[in-house]
Amino acid sequence: EKGGYEHFMLKEIHEQPRSIMDTMRGRLLVEEDIIQMAGIWDYQEKFLNAERIIIISCGTSWHAGLVGEYLIEDLARIPVEVEYASEFRYRNPIITDKDIVIAISQSGETADSIAALKLAKEKGAFIYGICNVIDSSIARLTDAGSYTHAGPEIGVASTKAFTAQLALLAMIALKLAKHKGTISKERFNSLIIELETIPERVAEVIKNTESQIKKIAELYAGAGNFLYLGRGYNYPIALEGALKLKEISYIHAEGYPAAEMKHGPIALIDENMPVVVIAPKKGYYDKIVSNIQEINSRKGKVIAIVTQGDTVVKDMVTESIEIPDVSEYFTPILSVIPLQLLAYYIAVLRDVNVDQPRNLAKSVTVE
Ligand code: M6R
């Protein structure tokens, strides 16, 4: 049932071109120049008049929520807050009937997310679910929702559900932006054309980087710590890369927004500290370049994720992994792939149970 792969996690990493495509199928209609999502369309008024969107989730789904915040604020200009379900529910949050609360959950069974949603519903918010498991508790509890169609995810470390969540959030943000009129018709059209090509780009990333990453994993499998840095859209990916590594390889790893390095974590950098820097040639590229200089001058070992054809960062670092050049909105879907593979190959070398890491369950149904 692992389809020839040694672990479910590796199979699921490789399934991503397909699972992203399945999530977009029937929704992203480039010929008609529309994004069709009944869950959003049926409640258009609510979405277009929402004063705020609150995204609640846990773990990897929370990281997807953070990318969703950037996408929805940037494209559709609706204020978004992203909350850990467990914090939100216990802190007497301010919620009104002008709020939309979106829960993101692969399993749809995460106890803290369910409790947070129930609370939001009691306070009058419209509640929306983004789940992978059909007919799960969250899917049934919510007023409306959209499924990610990633297919069953068996590995405890979430991979294909995450990229499906990112693709779905991109579609929601673009659809809302179109109806709100916060992006031009031309921009909408060129972005949906590009989004449709993302599954192929993901396939390229896997094909072009897997053997290189295996070698990098050999160099760093013995490390005691890792830092992951990213900015903007790729800050949540730094968090996700670190989470993948810690949960399956048991190496301590921290993700940080790159600019925060100087406020503390820089003190940790020496020749024994591998630092994964997500540095696509987008947004704040120059700032990332100076972060890399700072790491270099302290002899940290940089593994950089760069845009194909990059020369500046490439010349500065020992390892650089290339991803195709796409709009910044979609870079997280590509930049996370090498980080999933890196965590996977390091875990394999450390001979641990990749699909069933110690102390973890696939769905966390306890509070
Ligand atoms: O099923 P959910 O998306 O609600 O699960 C949330 C987290 O428990 C989950 O993402 C967890 O962090 C994964 N093991 C991460 O790989």
Give the pLDDT band (50/70/90) at residue 367: confident
Dist. CA 12–CA 159, nearest whole Å: 7
pTM tops 0.95, yes or no: yes
Which residues are tagged catalytic?
Answer: 362
Residue 56 φ/ψ, nearest 5 degrees? -120, 140
For the CA atoms of 339, 340, 344, 346, the dihedral, rounded to the nearest 10 degrees, stands at: 10
DSSP 95: -
Considering only CA atoms, which of 127, 170, 137 is closest in space to residue 23? 170
* CA 214 to ligand 1 centroid distance, Å: 25
**Does residue 201 surpass a pLDDT of 90?**
yes
Q: Helix 185-220 vs helix 16-24: angle between axes, to the nearest 10 degrees? A: 160
Range with top average pLDDT, 254-263, 323-332, 351-360: 323-332
Give the type of residue at 99. D
What SS3 class is residue 355? Answer: coil
Average pLDDT over residues 33-52: 94
Phi, psi (5° rounding) for residue 365? -95, 10
Q: How many whole angstroms separate alpha carbon 342 and alpha carbon 16? A: 16
Alpha-carbon Rg for the chain in angstroms: 20
pLDDT of residue 130: 98
Tell me the mean pLDDT in the region 214-234: 97
At 1 the pLDDT is: 87
Ligand 1 within 6 A of CB of 230: no
Backbone angles phi, psi at 200, to 5 degrees: -65, -40
* pLDDT reading at 265 higher than 90: no
Q: Is ipTM over 0.95?
A: yes
Rounded to the nearest angstrom, the distance between the alpha carbon of 269 and the centre of ligand 1 is: 30
Task: Report the separation in Å between the CA atom of 58 and the middle of ligand 1, taken as the mean of its atom positions.
Answer: 6
